[in-house]
Structure 1
């Protein structure tokens, strides 16, 4: 179905890229996996390459020189910057959407326009680049709870869920007048606040065929009880029991298929991972946001459960041949990922703290520690980002998976390390 001795380059340096490298390196079809730039975890599992994820020219050059058979782009920034387009122009096979299709994540206003055209269920909204117009819009909706979103990429932090009109006006002023997220908040989207439970649906798409992966649920808020500011994600588990088989059919039919078809009509053919961040409301699933890559941390629990060869999936997607696949195989056991973060995250944080106990954590049954913001210095692992590790466990049930993950978390230490203690509690209450 696919050739052997594949040489694969994974672009990125987070927990998502570590789990991709880990899974791809297990494939019988793969001879070598590189990660650019990678982290301390990928350095142990595969071969790191000292090239930034946003250095398109050097990445293309490396892929040509090393005769790379498939490039897998992890993060959103290189996709929005057109890395896929540059690689394809050089004749290199790539898994990840084009610059135009990546606008589905790169611009909240673009995504909302596509959803409106495709009649995909989502919150009522309006886009603004004028402060007075935005404030007037909020004033006219004093009885409604709102969400304010930076239009562009803001590392998962550009969304403010507002409880009051005052919070909404402050968020708008910070983004439009204070340029809180730089050019990413030159334009904003204000939308109705949806109520329900969140779920993440990831699907492999090759432009024609859509193959949904197993469900997961992310924890965006920084602190226990879903308190505090939004982050890139503080933990996740799979499957998400709130998404039934019947609901999955609705999500594919009413959300994924119309979105992919509309992108094609807009000359933005989609090849890669389509990630629908959903709110499961009383009226059914509605889209909160689209991402155009594997979620981080959702990739960790989802891919830990995948039994089908990942290299085969991504290679066939890049060749528009997903229709050749049979049904995917999954481990029925649930998985859970706890993100360990640096002191101060999601605000300013200190780097360079020595991390100990990762080996001991990996020895806990069913556990794999995926690295995100880490770097190797000699034989020491140091923290080098806000979200540092994704401690991921598989168990006979969710309670068992959670027990294992937090048992492993206790083995790991560095100055200021912290995590949420309530990952998956909502699912266990259901």
Structure 2
């Protein structure tokens, strides 16, 4: 009997290896780049309950929660998806917040859903228990590429919206310091560069997030601001006037954005409101800029008007606020040249190797100290680091159940227990890799 069981297990292992053909071999190679240490863990997870036959997976609707208010999320909702109401999702993410790929997925699924994960619950618990009359706390989310740092930050952003924080959200700072729509020299200081279109977009985002609070708080300018000979903001004028001026007069949008950030930071000491600063890919503020002066020399990031103004929020010289930031390894050279988890073209790979030397993912740490650089680390220090790990077993099952529910997984073999185990192995439990593998199924 023992020999028969052993023989069946051997035959089953051969069949499993043959069935890998329905997922591309390239993905297996890409997943192996995550490191040999992760492979042993993934294998043990995937093969711990090897089925004796190909059976369909029964999807039980335990991967969803009807609780759409993030203030009420707790550990009992872990690994469950919650749906952000359509009107709130439109307000929060209409002008950014998710990548184009993620936005297309939400459009396909016809809903904006986020998984309730422990890092988000941890940050929200800190925000509940913080003493806001003391210097602001900084929370830095870190983790491997594709682990869900952006989703975690946006979960916290939704919490701040429901808690009526004044939201200062920067979804993609690389648009400001690397690829701005337009640049012009500042009329305020000659060595500074304005990015008027990007500033105007941010002002619209700020208005969308906080329009319900601006009238209620009745914030007003603390001093005079002269935009031109005819356009002047007097002390005591509503701050909303500066906001509307920046949107309608794009030439002044960068300066208007800087003034609004400055006024909100300085007036927060009054205790009338709390401020939540959420920044995705915050280490972009400490990388080199690609913006150039007319003489073709590179502009330092501290000389980009809106980047300089936003970086001042990261210090702890103000009260009644909190800063939630993520750091991303893809922004670090040479990863800004090539996507990390994709095969390089031979010519591009050779050129990158000549310029930067041989490199793999393991050459750069995911830790905040390495990604923020010494300057950024000192700027944030002290801060609370919070790791956003890859999926655990329960989260992975919820993810696959959700994709089945949304008809994202079509092939019958991918819905079997063995097929799900192969997806887990090939993705190494990485959320982004899981999504991309399931795109072809």
TM range (shorter): under 0.3
Q: Which has the higher contact order (CA 8 A, sep 6+)?
A: 2
Q: TM-score, normalized by length of structure 1?
A: 0.25
The structure with the largest strand share of the pair is 1
Greater Rg by CA: 2
TM-score (norm 2): 0.24
Higher helix content, 1 or 2: 2
